[in-house]
């Protein structure tokens, strides 16, 4: 049985704060916040069960060459913090990462592959074995529809072999209003239960630029 996704309110912002660094490089500031709303929980007045915060700063540098038949477009280096803002060993979840990324694209698709070095994981030392050491995001555009496949993995075998896969379909509704369907399976949907496996299906709307 596939449960309906926990009602999740996502906020994601990204802006360029400096450019022409080392020639063509640019510095970006990003922030993502996910709040998991138990709107169905009438007994406890529909509380927000968990909120995850993720600020980051990223340096991207444009490139142009072929790698294994792929057209490389960007290399990047970022500093990322992710936590749930709680205190105490029982409920606190956090880690800091130095993320290295590379971007590739063609006419209808794009691919961003990332790997990272995690630091300050004393509260949850096994988080890398569940939320991963690398991920990849593949986007394919078909007219005004956008298909996205995201996968992450621990890069380990045996008992530490864990990961997550997510498939999204975004489609136009009207103007800047976009609908989406989502399916995911694996670990790390929310930080509070990062070491528990979930299979989730969801439907939602996005207020953004046109597809």
DSSP state of 125: T
Residue 81 annotated as catalytic: yes
The structure tokens 């449960």 sit at 3
Contact 105, 71 (CB under 8 A): yes
> Tokens at residue 54, please?
């993720």
Helix, strand or coil, per DSSP, at residue 189: coil
Point out the catalytic residue in the list 12, 35, 45, 81.
Answer: 81
Rounded to whole angstroms, what are the CA distances from 134 to 116, 158, 179? 6, 17, 28
Residue 83 annotated as catalytic: yes
Point out the catalytic residue in the list 12, 35, 45, 83.
Answer: 83
Count each helix (H run) and each strand (E run) in the chain, helices first: 1, 11
Active site residue ranges:
81, 83
């Amino acid at each position: 049985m596939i449960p309906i996704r926990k009602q999740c309110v996502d906020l994601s912002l990204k802006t360029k704060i400096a450019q022409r660094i080392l020639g063509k490089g640019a510095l970006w500031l990003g922030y993502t916040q996910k709040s998991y709303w138990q709107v169905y929980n009438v007994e406890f007045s529909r509380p927000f069960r968990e909120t995850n915060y993720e600020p980051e700063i990223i340096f991207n540098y444009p490139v142009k060459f072929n790698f294994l038949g792929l057209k490389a477009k960007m290399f990047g280096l970022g500093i990322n913090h992710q936590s749930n803002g709680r205190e105490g060993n029982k409920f606190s979840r956090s880690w800091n990462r130095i993320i290295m990324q590379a971007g590739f694209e063609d006419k209808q698709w794009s691919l961003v592959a990332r790997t990272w070095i995690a630091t300050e994981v004393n509260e949850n030392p096994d988080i890398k074995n569940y939320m991963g050491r690398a991920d990849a995001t593949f986007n394919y555009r078909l007219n005004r529809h956008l298909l996205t496949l995201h996968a992450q993995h621990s890069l380990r075998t045996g008992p530490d072999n864990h990961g997550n896969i997510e498939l999204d379909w975004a489609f136009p509704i009207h103007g800047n209003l976009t609908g989406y369907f989502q399916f995911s399976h694996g670990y790390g949907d929310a930080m509070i239960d990062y070491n528990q496996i979930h299979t989730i299906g969801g439907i939602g709307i996005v207020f953004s630029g046109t597809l």
